């Protein structure tokens, strides 16, 4: 994604600025509402973490959809390189998981009346399980991929280095996330939801107008772009199916279910969100395929944005960039907020400082860790995504599902031993030099197999 300042017209800048102003206004409104709702320290915690459990259906859908799509650079890169494989691995697998969550888990989650996912695990297994769950939670929501994404955007506007751009973009999110609690995040997501959905639709609309439909793509793309597994193979494709199952232990879903006014709102909200995600995925997948057909030599990591800017008219280029920025920020703010919540509420209870102060300090700490990890992954969104996302699925997913399916039948020791064994085997498999057929066996499979074996044994073995 090259420097784009010279591409934008005055009208583009005006529209881009108006969208940002509208987003800032929504944050201020959320902050004012937050102050009105905060009366006591207990109420303050509920308000900061869950918006006082006042999340209605429209707000639930907007914040869930917006939060779940910060990885647009990673998704469009996969679609540019692999075609409809992206829709299967980043779409269909996940839709199945969303529906499982809505139909089978929402009522169980809401019945516990918890504030966070680790607190829920504590009620299911015990206090040590809550602490371990909090560590997994933190590992899962440190937003490395989204810090990289916001850095790419800032760098394209300023020509600053990627590390410095990541720092500036993340600092901006810290400021408004710390200001108004979860309520400010939700209201900013509401604006970002509409902008991001319309932005990706515009790319498809103008692509069809300029190049035509499927016949153009088939004529100008490799054949594997139209095969569900592309040139990757079934084993590696199915890895994404198991990573998608990590949604069943994803703290963003849990937080919004806890914050909903009731279970009915949460169920309907997830189903409606899934329908919207299908449309969004179709737009990003085929938009990136149009980019590959029109600009085959472009860098896959930035081709989608470069292509969109080349076909959109004045004004809409600015709106599209605002949509891309909204897509990233809406996820980055939610992940930073959840990570800080995990530190100051689930892992540590800072008794000598206020909830707000501990929240802000935790935000800063998590942001710094996320920035350092982004540097360690050398700016690769796809690698960061797959590496960090697979640990939740491989180590925590099976024990939690066993807890839902067999409530009260799994001891805390068994839960802990299964999770720790999953961590050890997953990490060991990643570090082992593999050859032959073993190279196609992802560490995620090993971790899930390990935790399953431990949970099948009688509980007394792991006491």
Average pLDDT (35-52) is 67
* 8 A C-beta contact, residue 254 and residue 119: no
Region 96-117 average pLDDT:
91
Where along the chain do its domains lie? 5-379
pLDDT band at 459 (very low <50, low <70, confident <90, very high): very low
Whole-angstrom distance, CA of residue 401 vs CA of residue 409: 12
Question: What are the tokens at 284?
Answer: 């990003």
Q: What is the mean pLDDT of residues 145-169?
A: 86
* Pair 366, 142: CB distance under 8 Å: yes
Q: Widest CA span of the chain, in angstroms?
A: 70
Dihedral of alpha carbons 25, 28, 30, 33, sign: negative
Provide CB contacts within 8 A for 138, sequence distance 6+: 339, 342, 343, 347, 366
At 299-333, the pLDDT tens digits run 888 899 999 999 999 999 999 999 888 888 888 88
What is the C-alpha to C-alpha distance for residues 409 and 104, in angstroms, rounded to an integer? 19
How confident is residue 56, by pLDDT bands cut at 50, 70 and 90? very high
List, for residues 180-192, the tens digit of each pLDDT value.
678 888 888 898 8
* Residue 177 bridge partners (DSSP): none
pLDDT at 378 over 50: yes
Q: Which two three-digit tokens encode residue 446?
A: 């090993």
Residue 315 CB-half CA count within 13 A: 0
What pLDDT does 387 receive? 65
How much is the pLDDT for 131?
A: 92
Whether the per-residue pLDDT at 134 is higher than 50: the answer is yes
What are the residue ranges of helices labelled H in 312-350? 316-341
Q: Is the dihedral of CA 128, 131, 137, 139 positive or negative?
A: negative
Whole-number pLDDT of residue 81: 94
Share of the chain above pLDDT 90, in %: 37
Burial class (CB in 10 A: 0-12, 13-18, 19+), 78: buried
**Across all residues in the chain, what is the average pLDDT?**
85
> Closest Cα to residue 448, out of 242, 228, 154?
242
Measured CA to CA, the distance from residue 133 to residue 364 in angstroms comes to 22
* pLDDT at residue 287, rounded to an integer: 96
Average pLDDT over residues 202-213: 96
Tokens of 61: 């859908």
pLDDT computed for residue 293 by the predictor: 96
Q: pLDDT tens-digit profile of 213-230?
A: 999 999 999 999 999 998
**Tokens of residue 21, six digits:** 């102003």
Which of 142, 106, 161 minimizes the C-alpha distance to 334? 142
CATH of 5-379, one of 1.20.1730.10, 3.60.20.10, 1.20.1050.10, 1.10.3720.10: 1.20.1730.10
| Number of Cα atoms under 13 Å in the Cβ half of residue 72 | 35
Regarding predicted confidence, which is higher, 140 or 206?
A: 206
Lowest mean per-residue pLDDT among 144-148, 252-256, 449-453: 144-148
For residue 313, what is the DSSP state?
P
* Burial class for 375, CB neighbours closer than 10 Å (0-12, 13-18, 19+): middle
Among 205, 400, 409, 219, CA closest to 311 = 205
Q: What is the DSSP letter of 440?
A: G
Residue 32 has pLDDT above 90, yes or no: no
Share of the chain above pLDDT 70, in %: 90
pLDDT of residue 235: 76
Q: Answer whether 448's CB lies under 8 Å from 242's CB.
A: yes
For residues 144 and 224, what is the distance between their CA atoms, to the nearest angstrom?
A: 30
Q: Encoding tokens for residue 102?
A: 């809505």
Q: What is the mean pLDDT of residues 13-21?
A: 90
- SS3 of 184-246: the string is HHHHHHHHHHHHHHHHHHHHHHHHHHHHCCHHHHHHHCCHHHHCCCCCCCHHHHHHHHHHHHH
Q: So what's the pLDDT on residue 388?
A: 65
The mean pLDDT value for 354-377 works out to 84
pLDDT at position 113? 84
pLDDT per residue over 244-291, tens digit each? 888 888 888 999 999 999 999 999 999 999 999 999 999 999 999 999
Q: 96-130: string of b/e by CB count within 10 Å (b at 16+)? A: ebbeebbeebbeebbeeebbbbbbbbbebbbeebb
**pLDDT tens sequence across 399-446:** 998 888 888 888 898 899 999 998 899 888 888 887 766 666 778 788
> Which tokens hold the place of 460?
């007394």
- For residue 41, is pLDDT > 70? no
């Amino acid at each position: 994604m090259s420097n784009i300042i010279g591409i934008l017209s005055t009208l583009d800048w005006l529209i881009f600025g108006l969208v940002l102003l509208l987003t800032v206004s929504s944050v201020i409104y959320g902050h004012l509402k937050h102050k009105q709702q905060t009366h006591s320290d207990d109420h303050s915690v509920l308000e900061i973490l869950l918006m006082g459990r006042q999340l209605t259906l429209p707000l639930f859908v907007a914040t869930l959809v917006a939060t779940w799509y910060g990885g647009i650079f990673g998704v469009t890169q996969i679609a540019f390189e692999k075609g409809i494989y992206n829709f299967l691995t980043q779409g269909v697998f996940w839709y199945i998981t969303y529906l499982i969550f809505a139909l089978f888990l929402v009522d169980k989650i809401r019945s516990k009346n918890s504030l966070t996912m680790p607190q829920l695990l504590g009620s299911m297994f015990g206090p040590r399980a809550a602490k371990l769950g909090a560590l997994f939670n933190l590992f899962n929501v440190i937003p490395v991929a989204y810090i990289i994404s916001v850095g790419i955007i800032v760098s394209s506007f300023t020509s600053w280095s990627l590390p410095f751009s990541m720092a500036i973009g993340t600092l901006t999110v810290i400021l408004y996330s710390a200001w108004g609690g979860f309520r400010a995040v939700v209201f900013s997501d509401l604006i970002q939801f509409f902008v991001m959905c319309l932005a990706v639709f515009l790319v498809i609309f103008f692509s069809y107008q300029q190049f035509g439909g499927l016949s153009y793509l088939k004529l100008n793309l490799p054949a594997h772009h139209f095969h569900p597994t592309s040139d990757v193979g079934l084993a590696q494709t199915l890895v994404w199916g198991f990573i998608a199952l990590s949604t069943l232990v994803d703290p963003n879903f849990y937080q919004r279910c806890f914050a909903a006014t009731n279970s009915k709102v949460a169920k309907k909200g997830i189903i409606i969100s899934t329908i919207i995600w299908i449309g969004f995925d179709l737009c990003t997948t085929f938009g990136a395929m149009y980019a590959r057909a029109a600009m085959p030599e472009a860098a896959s990591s930035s081709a989608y944005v470069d292509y969109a800017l080349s076909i959109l008219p004045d004004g809409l280029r600015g709106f599209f960039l605002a949509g891309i920025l909204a897509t990233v920020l809406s996820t980055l703010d939610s992940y930073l907020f959840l990570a800080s919540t995990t530190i100051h509420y689930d892992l540590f209870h800072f008794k000598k400082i206020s909830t707000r102060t501990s929240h802000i300090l935790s935000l800063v700490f998590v942001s710094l860790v996320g920035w350092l990890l982004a540097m360690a992954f050398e700016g690769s969104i796809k690698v960061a995504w797959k590496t960090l996302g697979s640990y939740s699925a491989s180590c925590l997913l099976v024990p939690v599902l066993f807890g839902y399916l067999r409530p009260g039948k799994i001891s805390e020791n068994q839960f802990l031993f299964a999770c720790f064994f999953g961590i050890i085997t997953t990490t060991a498999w990643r570090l082992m030099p593999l050859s032959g057929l073993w190279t196609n066996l992802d560490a995620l499979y090993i971790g899930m197999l390990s935790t399953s074996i431990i949970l099948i044994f009688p509980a007394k073995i792991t006491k």
